[in-house]
Structure 1
Amino acid sequence: MASGCSVLQPEKRHSPAEIAAYTTADFLAPIASSAGELAARNAANSKIQEAISLPVGVDPNNILPGALWNIGFLNVEKAAGLQLVRNALPTLTEKDASYQRGILSAAYTHYAAETAPEIQTLLARIATPREFAIAAYTLQRADDSPAMREFILATMRNVFTNWQIEPRLIRLNQVLNADLRQVLANRPPLIDLLRHSYGAGKPVVFSFQRQDRQRFWSGSRAWRRWQFVRNADGTIFNVAHLAMPLPIARHHHQWQHAGRAFTIIGAGTATNKWIGPTPYLESQIPVEATLAAFAHSEDKNQNPWTDAAYEAFLPQSWRGYWPFKEALLAGQAGRNEMLLHGTTINSDYYRGASFYPGTPSAGCLVAMEYWSKDMVDCLKAIS
């Protein structure tokens, strides 16, 4: 029941003219109907119960990561989920990287404080950068003291002698050596980003997020010819959306919705049932897109991405601000397929959460959609 953002081929692509002509009646989402949702929820709960029934330390079919994903997705069985994570940690390094990633992501998102002692003991035995980074951020989330930061950094340097060329570990080193309050205090003026020319005649979409990204609010605005696009009544055109991955740790190890600059290359329809049938906008980040594609240029520039090439897209005041280079590091780490899309997920799973009524994803930007529970048509789509 994963709510990923990956796009399976083949898929339909949409022209601007097609998108402008669509109405909500053009889209059906059986998964969002009462019957469709119930069937999917029951299937996910069945997998959770299967995992809970396993003896401690036994997982021959590697079902624990999927069960933990479903626990977070449905927002159920949190106490049982903690026990599943604890059951998996003693032998975690005997499993492959994908399995480790699922367990550690759940630990970071839901159980950082409870699992930190076990994770600290196995940190030096995690041999892959992505999974090491998740474990490291879990420890930091539980204990952000100078001593813990130094422990993580020392362990990283011992395990990865070439950490200076690994994008995920470069980022980890930056974060652990930074004072977030000072970083935010030194942030360049936002107005410089808004006033900057990103390409003659090209519209720009800004996604404004709270620091923790766990809020659903009107944060996406279109900018054209140095002014915000406005609705017919004069209000600023904007789309409320959520940019929070599930698990939250995916922000660190898979660079979901990575900051800060990316380019829109088109629109399509995902085959992922939780994204739904309404068109998404597809963005690409540096490295994923060539320099020419990133700039929407007709030339065939095949020059490699560098810090200088990325900074050339930014206003002068932002070029030395290292948090804004996250997208370049993400591209170098292989991150791709960040979409701006709708949702068929029942937001009631997250009632009471700070991001309600938004629904999380595997890290894309998600706008709210309201689907008929009986007729399975889209009553209102604002994505």
Structure 2
Amino acid sequence: MKKCLFVVLLFVFFKPMFAQQLVSNTLFSPVTTKQARAERYKYLVDTTIKQYLAEPLNDDNEGLWNEALWSIELIQYKNAYTKQKLTVAWSKAAQLSEYFQKNLLEATYSLYKTEFKTQVSQLMHSTNSVPVFIRCAEYVLRADSINNKTPITSLIKSKFPSDTSVGLKILQSRLSTKKHTTLPPLIDIFSREFLKNQTVVYSLQRSNRDYAGLVIIRKPDGSFVKDSDGNYFHAAQLARAITAYPFYITNGNSPQGILRWTGFGHSRLLYIGPTTNLQMVMPYESKPAVFFADSTMPDIPWQKEMYASMLPETWKNYNGIYESFFAGAMGRYDVIMHGTTIDPSFYKGQKYFPQTPSLGCLCSYEEWDTTGYRVNSNQQQIADALSGIGSNNGYVVIIDIDNKNTPVTIDEIEKYISIAQNIE
């Protein structure tokens, strides 16, 4: 639904940084002009937020409120009026549809870290929906994990005693696992023996996705791409969803782990923009034969052991690297690597500004001038670097390297690349 609304709204209106070099400004996007962005913001605020939320909330006009919730989330619109309207929504949430409940939870999770803890907890106790319960639990845990882990664990057992759904298993694992575990050696996953003879695009992130990560590229021969000055190629990239949901929930942060890069693409969604993107698939989203690029593989169900067979021995017991596997098992799809035409001014004051978050994709910084032409693009640099080595498929590996509250820099990564390059 959100993707459909995304498209509809987009068609209604028509400091170089984070990059190693400027990119041609020949690409044009009508939604990036100064006028289009001003009209777009006015429409979102005056119509989809203020006008739609002025309507009484009931079964007949859930749709208007759903659109308003999405707009609030997209532009991070937060004031006394919207908080009061969310309070109204929460007072009626239990009587409304599961679809509305999920949208309300998503907007609340995105904008209010603790303020609706009581209301969310009430819905968590009353709902019989596993997807709604999971979203409630994640909100309550983020608000106060110390005092809520044990009660939520008990609640799962009492509410869903025979449920074996993937989502509940992941939630239970998150309840029992330490938040931060030791990262296995980066040199092992940078090694030429890992995904041997394949192009590997690494997106190295912080566990706090408010801070930008970094893309580096390993060629099929095991060496890493360098620029014309002999430095390792790198480009900043955001793996944060606007929702800030964890990896296994729809529209959540980009999952860690291995994704298959199946080729280049060009999106028709104007908010993603015309810049060349990387099409990617996760386990379950694609059959094993596609993921392993082996047409001779029989059509067999996915097993965790199949995915684990791709990993270095030192990484096989590291939970984080399996996120893409379980996100796929949960039904997540369309996590790709793309540019952006979203107006960065929506996010002034955010730690990730001027980067723009997505709905769970890897989003690379782009800059557009006031006439709608592209003047800078990390995404195009990534695509050009891959084309420059003759690659049009391979793998993307997303890793949270630590929990520092700073953007990832090439200075902290290149020593591991150099060590990996010198190991035969």
Return the TM-score normalized by structure 1. 0.87
- Structure 2 matches for 1:289-308, cutoff 5 A? 289-308=286-305
Equivalences for 1:109-258 in 2 at 5 Å?
109-145=110-146, 147-163=147-163, 165-181=164-180, 184-185=181-182, 187-195=183-191, 197-217=193-213, 219-224=214-219, 225-249=221-245, 251-254=247-250, 255-258=252-255
Specify the alignment match of 1:47 in structure 2.
48
Tell me, in whole angstroms, the C-alpha distance in 2 between the residues paired with 1:193 and 1:200.
Answer: 11
Task: Say if 1:2 and 1:73, in contact at 8 Å, map to a contact too.
Answer: no
Residue 335 of structure 2 corresponds to which residue in structure 1? 338
1:33 is displaced (CA, Å) by: 0.5
Distance in 1 (CA, whole Å) between partners of 2:300 and 2:248 is 28
Contact 2:245–2:253 under 8 Å retained in 1: no
Quote the offset at 1:335 in angstroms. Answer: 0.8
1:81 corresponds in structure 2 to: 82
CA deviation after TM superposition for structure 1 residue 252, in Å: 4.3
Provide the secondary structure at the position in 2 that maps to 1:253. coil
Give the Cα separation in 1 of the matches to 2:286 and 2:224.
26
Match of 2:271 in 1: 274
Which residue is equivalent to 2:358?
A: 361
C-alpha spacing 1:191/1:3, structure 2 compared with 1 (3 Å): farther
Give the direction of change, closer, same or farther, for the CA distance of 1:136–1:192 in structure 2 (3 Å limit).
same
Which residue of structure 1 aligns with residue 17 of structure 2? none
Q: Which deviates more from structure 2 when the two are superposed, residues 194-203 or residues 301-310?
A: 194-203
Contact (CA 8 Å) 2:124, 2:132: kept in 1 or not? no
Rounded Cα–Cα distance in structure 1 between residues aligned with 2:320 and 2:291: 20
Task: Name the % identity.
Answer: 25
Give 1:127 deviation, angstroms: 2.5
- 1:112 counterpart letter in structure 2: K
Shift of 1:301: 2.9
Amino acid at match of 2:91: P
CA change 1:7–1:293 in 2 (3 A) is farther
CA spacing shift, 1:373–1:73, aligned 2, 3 Å: same
Give the stretch that moved more between structures: 248-257 or 132-141. 248-257
Deviations 1:107-147 (A, max 9, x none): 222223111111112212222222211110100111111x4
The letter for the 1-side match of 2:121 is Q
- Residue 287 of structure 1 is aligned with which of 247, 270, 284? 284
> In the superposition, relative to structure 1, how do residues 80 and 260 fare at CA in structure 2: closer, same or farther (>3 Å)?
farther
Structure 1 unaligned runs (5+)?
A: 9-22
Conserved 8 A contact 1:3-1:275:
no
Given that 1:318 and 1:324 are in contact with CA atoms closer than 8 Å, whether structure 2 keeps it comes out as yes
Cα distance in 1 for partners of 2:145, 2:4 equals: 30
1:250: how far off? 6.1
Q: In the alignment, is the contact (CA less than 8 A) between 2:123 and 2:136 conserved in 1?
A: no
Counterpart CA distance in 1 for 2:4 and 2:319 is: 28
Tell me the TM-score normalised to structure 2 length. Answer: 0.79
1:298 partner amino acid: S
Deviation at 1:307, TM superposition (A): 1.3
User: C-alpha displacement at 1:342, in angstroms?
Assistant: 0.5
- Measured after TM superposition, the shift of residue 310 of structure 1 is 0.9
Residues 73, 246 of structure 1: 8 Å contact kept: yes
Quick one: which amino acid aligns to residue 209 of structure 1?
Q
Give the match for residue 408 of structure 2.
none
Q: SS at 1:27's partner residue?
A: coil
1:82-101 superposed matches below 5 A: 82-101=83-102
CA distance in 1, matches of 2:159, 2:227: 54
Is the contact made by 1:5 and 1:363 (CA closer than 8 Å) also made in structure 2?
no
Distance 1:377 1:303 in 2: 47
Give the residue type in structure 1 aligned to 2:328: G
1:65-106 CA-to-partner distances (Å, cap 9, x unmatched) read 321221232233333332222211232233222211110012
The alignment partner of 2:301 has SS state of: coil
CA distance in 2: counterparts of 1:59 and 1:37, whole angstroms: 33
Query: 1:68 and 1:29 mapped to 2: Cα distance?
Result: 26
- Give, in angstroms, the shift of residue 246 of structure 1: 1.2
CA contact (8 A) 1:112 1:139 kept: no
Structure 1 residue 371, shift from structure 2 partner: 1.3
CA distance in 2, matches of 1:349, 1:369: 15
User: Does the aligned pair in 1 maintain the 2:5–2:67 contact within 8 Å?
Assistant: no
Moved more, 276-285 or 295-304: 295-304
Q: How many residues are paired up?
A: 361
Q: Secondary structure at the match of 2:35?
A: helix
Deviation at 1:241, TM superposition (A): 1.0
After superposition, give the CA deviation of every residue in 1:315-335 in whole Å (9 maximum; x if it has no partner): 111112223211111111111
Deviation at 1:4, TM superposition (A): 8.8
Change (3 A) 1:108 1:76: closer
